[in-house]
Homo-oligomer: A and B are copies of this chain.
Amino acid sequence: MVDHLFLRACRREPVSRTPIWMMRQAGRYLPAYRAVRERASFLDLCRTPELACEVTLQPIDEFGFDAAILFSDILITLPPMGIEVTFPESGPKIGNPVRDQAAIDKLVVPDPDLALPYTLEAIKQIKAALHDRVPLIGFAGAPLTMLTYAVEGGGSKDYARTKKLLYGAPASAHALLDKLAQTCATFLEAQIAAGVDCVQIFDSWGGIVSPGDFREYPLRYAKQVIAQIKSSRAYAAKPVPIIYFVNGCAPYLTDYASSGADVLGVDWRVGIDVVRRSVGDGVALQGNLDPGALFASPTEIRARVSDILERAGKTGHIFNLGHGVLPETDPEHVRAMVTAVRELSSSE
């Protein structure tokens, strides 16, 4: 494989400039994506390799991002576990929320080769279509984040049901998290075997707990996932970088550094220089422009990019948003961000 900028940055090797990709870069802000979505539902898109391949490549062609990310959804593993999901416009809905030990006992850890063949086939098609232009990132939802969806039945404002399970029935919570961790790790191993060059574990709701509970729940099971991946045959054959992303990581930085991941995702609420000082030099960092900052003028976007590049330094930094790009974003503002990262990090 070519020695890609993105993979060099993941390994903290010297780079000619800072690589950039964007969470949800294949998504609704892109007219080309919306055109495909007019022909297919969101789930059809996730489950049809040709369509998933098409939309995965769109932002690479359009903006020249330094990595592609598989088009899929973190909730894609729930149906094969035994949890029904639909995707109405208002956000994902779970048909049979998991709220007691009996429901947890019924869940299975699916074999991705049998249960998620379309995702693995999409990876093969994307890799072939990319011709190694840029690396391909695979991903899955982290155990705690998957638990919140399974338990709440969708999004939540206060995560009351999640906390009722975590603190009111901790043995059940741990049993569920263990199944979710096995599912996450097994799926990512299969993605590595299918050809991805990096995997990201999304803990979108890992930041809803106290520091002690961060160690006990999200971090503990992210560590279990990372350890299982690292001891797998797929990883032995292809030891890809592992990214762990906790949205709202600021209160947990010292513990965050101990996850075992090669790269830590950083949301926009904290200075990336603060994170670097706290986690040390053993990991790369990915982030951390506020997705909402793309509503600013191109001049202001460039100033904010410059500030982040300066705080992050050139080694071991992958530029990204601090969370997924917002659907209302103007693609030309995305272009302004990409151009700013390329120009400003080259000239350093």
A residues adjacent to B (C-beta < 8 A)? 91, 155, 157-160, 162-164, 166-168, 207-213, 248, 250-251, 268-271, 274, 290-293, 295-297, 300, 307, 322-323, 326-328
Smallest Cβ-Cβ distance to A168: which chain B residue: B295
What distance in Å separates the Cβ of A55 from its nearest Cβ neighbour in chain B? Answer: 21
- Contact across chains for A163 and B295 when beta carbons are under 8 A apart: yes
- Contact across chains for A207 and B269 when beta carbons are under 8 A apart: yes
Partner of A160, one of B271, B322, B326: B326
Task: Provide the residues of chain B in CB contact with A210, threshold 8 Å.
Answer: 268-269, 271, 290, 293, 322
CA distance A160 to B269 in the complex (A): 15
What distance in Å separates the Cβ of A42 from its nearest Cβ neighbour in chain B? Answer: 17
Question: How many copies are assembled?
Answer: 2
Task: Provide the residues of chain B in CB contact with A155, threshold 8 Å.
Answer: 157
Smallest Cβ-Cβ distance to A324: which chain B residue: B158
- The 5 A-B residue pairs whose C-beta atoms are closest, nearest first, are A163-B292, A167-B296, A168-B295, A250-B251, A251-B270
CA distance A269 to B206 in the complex (A): 11
Given A160-B326, A251-B250, A328-B160, the answer on whether A211 and B167 have CB atoms closer than 8 Å is no
Partner of A326, one of B158, B209, B307, B326: B158
